[in-house]
Amino acid sequence: MRRIKRSLKYFTYIFLLSVVLVFGMCIARASFYSCDLVIGAKLDDENQFMAEIIAQIIEKNTKLKVKRLFNLEGTLISFFSVLSGSIDCYVEYTGSGFLEILKRDYPDELNKVSMLDELLYVEHSCRFIPILGFNSSYALLGRKEVLKRNSIETISDFVDYSYKDPKLKIAVDPEFYSRPEYKNLIEKYGLNPALKSTIMDASLLYLSASKDAFYAVSGHTLDPRIEKYNLQVLEDDKKIFPKYEPGIICKKELLKKHPYLEDIFSQLYMKISDSSIRSINKEIAKGDLKLRVLAEAFLEEMNYFEKEMF
């Protein structure tokens, strides 16, 4: 009952926050009257890096004026912002597209990207255009030395151990707590119901795990803080975490108005591997260079700035 109340409070919070933020972004959009496109991005550095890449490649290869609206609070607010017209596009992931936006199980079919594109088109008049090609999925993390000491390598190992020590604590970020992955962690892995789950800002999770404040935390497989804080990704032996491959979500009207944008977006397809984005994330985390500079360097290395296309 307590968990249900917490879930209801969280969903109420998300709904109210969505209303306030979308209203605020509509006002912000009105102040962007001199621009042709507004590109949104979520809170995390990786998502903002990809959005900055998109913004720069559009600015270089077209006459369109681009504005950036970053630090959007999660998947649903970002998607609603597209539907409301507050932004024109943003970078989303296949896993979030199926589980959060479409409220469907992650499919087993090989053509997941085209299926997501088709379903978004039919149900929301939106498009999903794949880019870059890496997989930044959710994960459960713990301190490497602690996990090794207790012979824990998989999530199943962790769940088994949680019944031996019910005083263990885990922490997850608010979005993960509301997602099907957390539900599957409980239902498919049989996570000990007595285990205390704390909802914490994502920026604090890795540090908390490194200080032994929590035995395990939610995270992302390509986050450079895993290495920084000597953490380890627990193997998802029951495959509850789907692939999170990036793509651009936009309204279909945007591509009808500017049909060349799809060709520009497609140039980015499969251009960054898992190891490459991990290195980029590490550079971002250092804080020495701004996202704009890192994005420009990436595009120059890939020869995207050679000529104006449209």
Per domain, the residue ranges of the chain are 2-136+244-301, 138-233
Phi, psi of 216 (to 5 degrees): -145, 150
Phi-psi region of 85 (alpha: psi -120 to 50; beta: other; left: phi over 0): left
What is the rounded distance in angstroms from the CA atom of residue 97 to the CA atom of residue 109? 15
CATH topology of domain 2-136+244-301: D-Maltodextrin-Binding Protein; domain 2 (3.40.190)
Which amino acid is residue 279, in one-letter code?
S
What is the rounded distance in angstroms from the CA atom of residue 286 to the CA atom of residue 273? 20
The answer to whether 130 touches 175, Cβ cutoff 8 Å, is no
Overall CATH class of domain 138-233: alpha beta
Q: What is the DSSP string of the chain?
A: -HHHHHHHHHHHHHHHHHHHHHHHHHHHHHHTTT-SEEEEEESSHHHHHHHHHHHHHHHHHSS--EEEEEEE-HHHHHHHHHHHTS-SEEEEEHHHIIIIIS--PPP-SS-HHHHHHHHHHHHHSEEEEE-S-----EEEEEEHHHHHHTT--BHHHHHHHHHH-TT-EEEE-HHHHHSHHHHHHHHTT---TTSEEEE--HHHHHHHHHTTS-SEEEEETT-THHHHTTEEEPB-TT--S----EEEEEEHHHHHHSTHHHHHHHTTTT---HHHHHHHHHHHHH-SS-HHHHHHHHHHHTTTTSS---
CB-facing half-sphere around the CA of 200: CA atoms within 13 A: 21
Distance of CA 113 to the CA centre of its chain: 16
Q: Are 2-136+244-301 and 138-233 in the same CATH fold?
A: yes
Q: Tell me, what's the pLDDT at 269?
A: 87
Q: Tell me, what's the pLDDT at 292?
A: 92
Q: Tell me, what's the pLDDT at 11?
A: 47
Pairing of strands 196-199, 169-172: parallel
In angstroms, the Cα distances linking 276 to 46, 163, 270 are 12, 38, 11
Largest Cα–Cα separation, the chain:
63
| Mean pLDDT per 10-residue segment, the chain (310 residues) | 50 51 50 78 93 94 95 94 97 94 87 94 97 90 93 95 86 90 91 86 89 88 91 95 93 96 89 87 85 90 64
In angstroms, the Cα distances linking 68 to 64, 116, 267 are 13, 25, 21
